[in-house]
Structures are given as structure tokens and as C-alpha cells.
Amino acid sequence: MVEFMTETTRRPTGVPRPAGAKWPTGPGSAETLPRPAAGGGTGGPAAFDGHDGHDAAVILERSRASVDPELRAAVASLPAAMRRIARYHFGWEHADGSPAAGNGGKAIRPALVLTAATALGGPPARAVAARAAAAVELVHNFTLLHDDVMDRDATRRHRPTAWTVFGENDAILAGDALQALALGLLAENPHPASPAAAARLAACVVELCEGQRADTALERRAPGEVTLAEVLAMAEAKTGALLGCACAVGALYAGAGEEEVGALDAFGRQAGLAFQLIDDVIGIWGDPARTGKPAGADLAARKKSLPVVAALTSGTPAAAELAELYARSHQQGEEERMTLVVERAGGRDWAQAQAADRMARAVDDLARAVPDPANAGGLLALAEFVTRRTS
């Protein structure tokens, strides 16, 4: 599962507002919608102009303030040994159990829950959705704990992953417990929206699992056997589903109807796909000085990222060349040539056009659910935040 903006060296940049985005004429004007400052600038949250109070950094900070107590209370209810793993994973404790400043990621998902609730139900809905926001964040972190074990990832949020510190088994068990904690939080919540929220979150977990399974399976297959539709479906399940679910859960606590809930789910999914496309572009063309990863690391690892599969299935002469390069074992200095070949095969252009297209769809879905742009601004700011990255 991908973490948003956890690389401090990755800073937001302007992913242009898609040209195709239609916004219904509402009481406000589209011009009142927050717009990112032009260009990459020095990046960071300050790059958002933040008028209308729809500054993503502010939204994230306020969300954290509401959700953190719920999250900490839930984790505090765990038996001591698993509580320790969870507190380490969330960055609240060091491995030795001493308090840590905490880097639990940007917590974009709980922010989506609260912002969706606010968009459709104002501050009262936001207040009742805080526990559900914590549940969504617990689910996200359960999948991170398990994915890190499966993917043998040694680093998460600049620290050793939980399984490297506490062992695989205990990390798996802590993940299991976080899932139970998440769905238990909703079961204990007497708000009338809770059963529907729990059902959606449970269904989302199944989709996240399928996304992770598909990801692993795709990476094992020969490059020529992977279709673009498969990689897109995997990315939607693995990244889009929980972003969509977060928005839908927020809508439920605002008492929204099925259509609005579905439209906000679609908004989150499309924004999640746009994020994944940009993330994959950065994985190939990102500036190592900013990404903190060596140039072409994804190519050296033969990752079947979206631009790569687009290139491989492009039917161009460069596609055949790339397939040949991908079939070979890694060779010193090959990344530069590979990068050029993916680009020549149209992988970069495709991914950027797709990302813009997904953002346009997201904006359409958002407009269906929240016709008043003044109310939709927060969600739009978050969507733009996650898709604004430097290359």
C-alpha cells in the first residue's frame, strides 16, 4: 500500500487541472475553488493558496487533531504486546517503547472521511465521523503492516518496518488486530450510519487484499503477459478502493443518500488512480535528489508500473525493445536507456494523460455528490494534494 507524501523530499507540484473538468454552475463560481499556485515552486503545503479555508495542509492538520485521540484510544485498548507494535508502527514510540515525535504518515484517508462528512453535512457530520475516520486509518495501517511483511519492505516512513523490529508473526498478528479494532470501532458506534459504514469498510478490505494479491501475481508474470487493464484494476483495488471508501464513509455519516455516497466513492477511486499514475511516473522520471531513491530504481527492479505496462503494450518498436530489456537481468547503467525507451514507447505521455483524465473524472464525480463548489473545495484540495508531486 502506498503512503502519500511520506518522502519528505517529495514535494507537491502543479499537476494541471484537467481541461475536461466540468463543474455545474452553482451558487458559487468555479473560480472560487482553490487552485494550486502555478508551477512547482519550492513545494510543500505552502504551495497551496488555501483561500476558502481549503488548504490541504490545514485540512490534514485539523483532521489529525480530531482523529488522533480516537486512534490512540483504540490502540490503547490492545493487549500490551500488540499495543507496543501498533504504537511503534504509528510512530508514537521508538522500538524500545520510549515516546517518539510520531510520523504516522499524512493520514490522508481519515482527512477524506472528515472532509466528505463536512462537505455533505457540515460541522455536525464532521464531529460524528471522527471515530469512523480512525477506523479507516486503522484499516490502512493494518494493510501496511501486512504488505510490508509480504513485500519484505524494510523501511516505512523513514524507520525500520514493524516486522523487522518485532518479527513477521507479531507484525501479522498486530495487523489482524488492527483490522478487528477498526471494524469493532464501527460496531460499537451507535450512530445509524455505522452498520453501512462497517459493511463498506469490510468490503473494501476484501478489495484491498485482492489488490495486493494481484500486485504480487502481476510482478511474478512475464512482462509480455500483463495487460494495461489488469494493472489499472490492480491499482484501483490497491490504492483507489480505500480512498473511495473513506469518502463514502464520510458521506454516510452526513446522512447522504446512495447516489451521493456512490459518487463520492467514485471520486476517491479516481483520485487514487490519478495519484498512482503520478507516483509511477515519479518512480521512473523522478529527480533522485527529491525522491530519495536512485534514478530508475523501479526499472532496475523490473517493476510493472503503469507507464511501463503502457509502453510494453503500445505496439511500437520501442515496446519490443523494452520487452527485451525487461527480460534481461539487471545490468549496470541500463536505467537511462530504459527510461528513454519507456518514454519513446509513450509510457510517460500515456500515464500523464491518464492521470489528468482520472482527475477530470474525479472532479465530475465530486460535482455530482457536492454540487456547491464552496462545499466541495476541501475534497478537491485533498485530491490535488495527493496528485501534486514533483517529477
CA distance 149 to 165: 11
- Under the binding rule (CB under 8 A), the answer on residue 169 touching a copy of itself is yes
For a copy of itself, the closer CB: 210 or 343: 210
Q: Are 284 and 342 in contact (CB under 8 A)?
A: yes
Q: Min. distance of Cβ 96 from a copy of itself in angstroms?
A: 18
Q: Using alpha carbons, list the distances in angstroms from residue 329 to 42, 134, 284, 299, 302.
A: 38, 44, 18, 11, 9
Question: In degrees to the nearest 10, what's the CA dihedral of 3, 140, 143, 77?
Answer: 130
Binding mask 212-231 for a copy of itself (x = CB under 8 A): xxx-xx--------------
CA distance 183 to 364: 31
- Under the binding rule (CB under 8 A), the answer on residue 262 touching a copy of itself is no
Q: Min. distance of Cβ 201 from a copy of itself in angstroms?
A: 8
- Under the binding rule (CB under 8 A), the answer on residue 82 touching a copy of itself is yes
Q: Which amino acid is at 371?
A: P
Site for a copy of itself, residues 174 to 203, rule: CB under 8 A: 174-177, 179-181, 183-184, 186-188, 190, 194-196, 198-199, 202-203
Contacts 24+ apart (CB under 8 A), 203-210: 204/139, 204/241, 204/242, 204/244, 204/245, 205/139, 205/143, 205/179, 207/237, 207/241, 208/1, 208/139, 208/143, 208/237, 208/238, 208/241, 208/242, 210/237
Size of the site for a copy of itself (CB under 8 A): 44
Q: Which amino acid is at 328?
A: R
Q: Min. distance of Cβ 156 from a copy of itself in angstroms?
A: 17
Q: Min. distance of Cβ 135 from a copy of itself in angstroms?
A: 11
- Under the binding rule (CB under 8 A), the answer on residue 165 touching a copy of itself is no
Binding mask 48-77 for a copy of itself (x = CB under 8 A): -----------------------------x
CA torsion through residues 363, 367, 372, 376, sign: negative
Q: Min. distance of Cβ 49 from a copy of itself in angstroms?
A: 40
Q: Min. distance of Cβ 87 from a copy of itself in angstroms?
A: 15
Among 37, 58, 100, 173, indicate the residue that binds a copy of itself (CB under 8 A).
173
For a copy of itself, the closer CB: 7 or 176: 176
What would the grid cell of residue 21 be? 473538468
End-to-end CA distance of the chain: 20
- Under the binding rule (CB under 8 A), the answer on residue 141 touching a copy of itself is no
Among 78, 284, 360, 362, indicate the residue that binds a copy of itself (CB under 8 A).
78
CA distance 4 to 263: 23
Residues near a copy of itself (CB under 8 A): 77-79, 81-82, 142, 146, 149-150, 168-170, 172-177, 179-181, 183-184, 186-188, 190, 194-196, 198-199, 202-203, 205-207, 209-210, 212-214, 216-217
